[in-house]
Chain A
């Protein structure tokens, strides 16, 4: 039986790149969010999602901790916190 030489769509999703984070993770305060969706647009992994104000969140299974979402949020409603912080909860 020959090995397949093509790959199925989106099969990369089984690679949980969240394990790359060793320093900081983004915390979505969900307080002053205006739902501008810049965080959704700018995340290189495409893992920030949300609908109305204060509902935006990332997917920590994939988040590499680059900090772009926090850097671009116009309301500073996303902050980078240490990975080992007690406030952190897995999504």
Chain B
């Protein structure tokens, strides 16, 4: 059913459709509306779920870990400092193969403290073993949540999945979103039935100490599970399209890459601006395109190579920075083309940190700079120039 609602509300409504048994969160701007909508639904009896108001994000992630280990579907959400605070638990949850689904409302990291959008928070978790999906629109984010549960709980995966959306831009933006019907959700998402759980009927021990003679194999298994997700994610997206009738999710989305001479690689809502800019430029005869990253972890190496191999110049737009090095997506893309022939010229651009607006002019500037010398950490839009 279509409704003109705030992104946070769309997320809350879709989460409610998935019927998590335990929800636990700690407030942080700009995640707050999501959990407030959920709290209201619980208070009104519309969602029968345990809502645990914990005293920090570390405890929020811990509570959902305990609940999912006990066999309940769960939900949590955070941003920025909160996400970093719960990161210890998220690394741990991945290692323990706990299918926690969480939303990250992307926000910049302190210091300085800044409540506006960029991707530094979720990018800081790229080593954690948590699957990362980036939505471009409120519709896609809502759809990704359904797909996230399906993916996380798959018995061959059993990993935390984090759906990322741009803070304020998407979370507080109003769009028309089609909220799925309950019966269709039931058809897409089976009941949560973990192979192992905390139960006196079958008393297992979770979270052992594994010494040097055992640890590496277990981490290797974890790594392989993430790589298996590369095959399952497109399958889930196809299943989704089949049941709900629209394309959402997947590994990457190519846009106007046919015959492109220049391409931008980016993730999140900025891709909307990029697509519009590309349309404008294409109308003027410029052969430009976009490769949108939807799944960032696991990293879709093959899809990226396939889509960009024939593009002579690629600009990676990171809304984040691995300080002291380059943007994280740039770093991964550049590595992927090592040894590939032909290999595009790849330049890395940093824009939109701390909520600084990325406009069509920003995108134009990137396309203008791209043919110049190769750069790896070029900040675009700094007030005092380069």
- A residues whose Cβ falls under 8 Å from a Cβ of B: 2-3, 5-9
Contacts and interface: CB of A to CB of B under 8 A. Distances in A.
Nearest to A10: B203
B204 A3 contact: no
B208 A7 contact: yes
Given A5-B95, A6-B205, A8-B205, 12 more contacts: A2-B225, A3-B214, A3-B218, A5-B96, A5-B206, A5-B208, A6-B196, A6-B206, A7-B204, A7-B208, A9-B203, A9-B205
A37 to B, nearest CB: 26
B177 to A, nearest CB: 38
B204 A6 contact: yes
B97 interface: yes
A27 to B, nearest CB: 34
Nearest to B196: A6
Interface of B: 95-97, 196, 203-206, 208, 214, 217-218, 221, 224-225
Contacts of B206: 5-6
Contacts of B203: 9
A7 B218 contact: no
Contacts of A9: 203-205
A11 to B, nearest CB: 8
Contacts of B95: 5
Closest 9 CB pairs of A and B: A6-B204, A2-B221, A7-B205, A9-B203, A3-B217, A6-B206, A3-B218, A6-B196, A3-B221
B206 to A, nearest CB: 5
Contacts of B218: 3, 5
Contacts of B217: 3
Contacts of B224: 2
Nearest to B208: A7
A7 B207 CA distance: 9
Contacts of B221: 2-3
Nearest to A12: B205
Contacts of B196: 6
Contacts of A5: 95-97, 206, 208, 218
Contacts of A2: 221, 224-225
A7 B203 CA distance: 9
24 contacts: A2-B221, A2-B224, A2-B225, A3-B214, A3-B217, A3-B218, A3-B221, A5-B95, A5-B96, A5-B97, A5-B206, A5-B208, A5-B218, A6-B196, A6-B204, A6-B205, A6-B208, A7-B204, A7-B205, A7-B208, A8-B204, A8-B205, A9-B203, A9-B204
Contacts of A3: 214, 217-218, 221
Nearest to B203: A9
Contacts of A6: 196, 204-206, 208
A7 B218 CA distance: 13
A66 B278 CA distance: 77
A15 to B, nearest CB: 13
A14 to B, nearest CB: 14
B115 to A, nearest CB: 38
Interface hub of A2, A3, A5, A8 (most chain B Cβ within 10 A): A5
A9 B206 CA distance: 11
Contacts of B97: 5
B92 to A, nearest CB: 12
A8 B204 CA distance: 5
Contacts of A7: 204-205, 208
B228 to A, nearest CB: 10
B278 to A, nearest CB: 43
A6 B204 CA distance: 6
